[in-house]
Amino acid sequence: MRNTIDFSPLYHSAIGFDRMATLLDSVARDSKPSYPPYNIEQVEENHYRITMAVAGFTEDELDITSEQNSLVISGRQQSEGDGRNYLHRGIATRDFERKFQLAEHVKVVSAKLENGLLHVALEREVPEAMKPRKIAIEGLGKNSLLEQNAA
């Protein structure tokens, strides 16, 4: 029997990534390799950043695609036969493809490769019509709706 973790309490309080609990649940079930390692951080209220360790990859070998509510980051090594004779090869340079499910209204703003780390900036832009708005409460007085309906 397999050990499982119940992520259902997280479904009630997702921040930024509305499907975060579903993603955590799917990660717990899948035993996919964790290459390359990455971080997801909240920079500000509606700004997020994915930082991925992509040592050994150049900008030309990385591809970032954003389509609907998904983000795909992939890396393909162009030259495997570089003529070097490695005695030990500890820096992984294998091809990868990492998929992220984005919440609604989250868009990719920019990407930057710096010191072997790929930084992808994300921003959540909720349309004005979907933002919560405050409704004024009228007190009972001469202009109240109850008096207008009674007349």
How high is the pLDDT of residue 27?
55
How high is the pLDDT of residue 128?
75
Q: Which two tokens stand for residue 148?
A: 């207008």
User: Of 3.50.50.60, 2.60.40.790, 2.40.10.220, 3.90.1200.10, which CATH number belongs to 35-129?
Assistant: 2.60.40.790
How high is the pLDDT of residue 33?
57
How high is the pLDDT of residue 109?
92
Task: Summarize pLDDT for 28-73 with one digit per residue, the tens.
Answer: 555 555 788 999 999 988 899 999 999 888 899 999 999 888 899 9
Distance between CA 56 and CA 34 in Å, rounded?
17
Global pTM value: 0.62
Task: Summarize pLDDT for 99-137 with one digit per residue, the tens.
Answer: 988 888 888 999 999 999 999 999 988 777 777 778 888
Give 6's pLDDT tier (boundaries 50, 70, 90): low
Torsion angle defined by CA atoms of residues 128, 131, 134 and 135, in that order, rounded to the nearest 10 degrees = 80
- Residue 25 in this model has a pLDDT that exceeds 70: no
Q: Which two tokens stand for residue 110?
A: 């920019």
Residues near 105 by beta carbon (within 8 Å), at least 6 away in sequence: 124, 125, 126, 127, 130
